[in-house]
Amino acid sequence: KKRNPGQPEFVQAVTEVAEDIFDYIADKEDYHKYQILRRIAEPDRVISFRVCWEDDKGNIRVQRGWRVQNNNSIGPYKGGIRFHPSVTESVLKFLAFEQTFKNALTGLPMGGGKGGSNFNPKGKSTNEVMRFCQSFVNELYRHIGADTDVPAGDIGVGGREIGYMFGQYKRLTNEFTGVLTGKGLEYGGSLIRTEATGYGAVYFLHEMLKTKGKDLVGLNAVISGSGNVATHAAEKINQLGGKVLTLSDSEGFIYDPEGITQDKVNWVKDLKTRKRGRISEYVKEFKGSEFHGNGARPWGVECDVAVPCATQNELNEEEAKTLVKNGCFAVSEGANMPTTLEGTHVFKKAKILFAPGKAANAGGVAVSGLEMSQNSARISWKEEELQRLLVDIMQGIHARCVEYGGSAGTDHVDYVKGANIAGFKKVADAMLAYGVV
């Protein structure tokens, strides 16, 4: 806390990892001697820059952009770009820190980074978004590169924004390389990248259920968010036989007792990606559903499984207790750090199946890693091959969590601990190999 004043999200993320790592490293002298934990928790660098753009009325607007390059011990920095008014240096530092462990867990050679701006894309015209993205890259381009740092999408940054940024990078450098992932299929993107995070979070959930001899058939699921991750998680839950009861955005949540079936998920995707509308519009389209406004969150709705897919700290201690009381027995985090530290303790104590974002939502960056491989080799893999690799990678992450988070004599797995230790170990051992730098 003293080292990072005014950065609560970053301190929270480091605390959560440190809680699990302390025990693990207690008898490992080299990790102490070489101060590995402290070094991982200090980003390699934080780049902060001015982003100046002109709105449709001709006003000059000034915003701040960042790229946090946390650690490149096992591969080029890799992590998304977020455009949302809630973005601060603390939020990006926590995301870059988490990303380092997540990327290590995938088994692919990727370091950790994250970037973004407090720019609010809501209510902006397409031209305004384009000008902002171009101006953002006018500075960012000098810090990134296919073998240096490879950004991707995140909240507020989807296919459209990646297109504007990649186009500007290409123009400035005169190079066509895999410097960004999440690209359109016409210019180097990978099949199933768009679906990968939401699908992966549900594959992970499925793997956890399997350990208890269960599957998703007939289970009720509560999901938050209505963006890329939430809609694809909903899609996969439907495909595996579950019923999705809720979706949300920052204004509130919708509850559909009939279930948010694939047709309805398609309608939400169109609402959010093309019309750029609000989730409250759902109730006008689908009778029998309810909207709960004023920023209400869906965790009070009775369910068997919960998949938070909106943003950090959207599920607190009280809400975690409510979920457990209502019989929810599995939580798979599609978003990054959606559960507060106190909420995490509730799930851990109740010993429900609880997958932290750094394990459960790693499917997106994993397919981004596969996009990098395809770009380097200048080839495109088929959908079936990528689907197989995604399932394989999620099963591999699950196995690593079981290896490091299981405890002798019981079948309980602490997935948070398992993910933290497995991710840490890989990065830490690479850092040891490099000596003190």
The answer to whether 114 is a known catalytic residue is yes
Residue with tokens 């993320």: 13
Q: Which stretch binds ligand NDP (CB under 6 A): 23-31, 64-72, 257-265, 309-317?
A: 309-317
Distance CA 293, CA 373 (A): 44
Q: Is 409 helix (H, G, I), strand (E, B) or coil?
A: coil
151 binds ligand NDP (CB under 6 A): no
Which residue sits closest to ligand NDP, CB atoms considered? 227
229 binds ligand NDP (CB under 6 A): yes
Distance CA 302, CA 42 (A): 41
**94, 9 Cβ separation under 8 angstroms:** yes
**280, 295 Cβ separation under 8 angstroms:** no
15 binds ligand NDP (CB under 6 A): no
Binding residues for substrate: 78, 99, 102, 153, 368
Degrees (nearest 5) of the Cα angle 35, 1, 317?
Answer: 110
Closest CA to 302 of 328, 281, 283: 328
84 binds ligand NDP (CB under 6 A): yes
> Would you say 242 or 364 has its CB closer to ligand NDP?
364
227 binds ligand NDP (CB under 6 A): yes
What the block records as the tokens of 202 is 């549900």
Cross-strand partners of 246: 222, 255
Distance CA 400, CA 102 (A): 12
Q: Which stretch binds ligand NDP (CB under 6 A): 31-39, 124-132, 137-145, 245-253?
A: 245-253
> Would you say 216 or 309 has its CB closer to ligand NDP?
309
252 binds ligand NDP (CB under 6 A): no
| End-to-end C-alpha distance for the chain, whole angstroms | 24
Handedness of CA 210, 215, 219, 220 (dihedral sign): positive
Q: Which stretch binds ligand NDP (CB under 6 A): 172-180, 328-336, 347-355, 371-379?
A: 328-336
Min CB(194)–ligand NDP separation in Å: 8
311 binds ligand NDP (CB under 6 A): yes
Point out the catalytic residue in the list 93, 114, 183, 236: 114
**101, 424 Cβ separation under 8 angstroms:** yes
Interface residue with ligand NDP, options 15, 35, 86, 127 (CB under 6 A): 86
Q: At what angle do helices 363-377 and 89-106 cross, to 10 degrees?
A: 70
115 binds ligand NDP (CB under 6 A): no
Q: How many residues at the interface with ligand NDP, by CB under 6 A?
A: 25
Binding residues: 78, 99, 102, 153, 197, 228, 368
161 binds ligand NDP (CB under 6 A): no
390 binds ligand NDP (CB under 6 A): no
153 binds ligand NDP (CB under 6 A): yes
Min CB(409)–ligand NDP separation in Å: 34
Q: Is 6 helix (H, G, I), strand (E, B) or coil?
A: coil
SS (H, E, C) 249-268: ECCEEEECCCCCCHHHHHHH
**82, 155 Cβ separation under 8 angstroms:** yes
Interface residue with ligand NDP, options 336, 339, 374, 375 (CB under 6 A): 336
Interface residue with ligand NDP, options 189, 364, 369, 418 (CB under 6 A): 364
Min CB(427)–ligand NDP separation in Å: 18
**334, 201 Cβ separation under 8 angstroms:** yes
Buried b (16+ CB within 10 A) or exposed e, 367-394: bbbbbbebbeeeebbeeeebbebbbebb
Min CB(332)–ligand NDP separation in Å: 12
User: For the chain, how many residues are written?
Assistant: 437
Interface residue with ligand NDP, options 135, 181, 226, 344 (CB under 6 A): 226
156 binds ligand NDP (CB under 6 A): yes
Min CB(365)–ligand NDP separation in Å: 6
Query: Which residue numbers are catalytic?
Result: 114
Residues that bind ligand NDP (CB under 6 A): 84, 86, 153-156, 197, 225-230, 249-251, 309-311, 314, 334-336, 361, 364
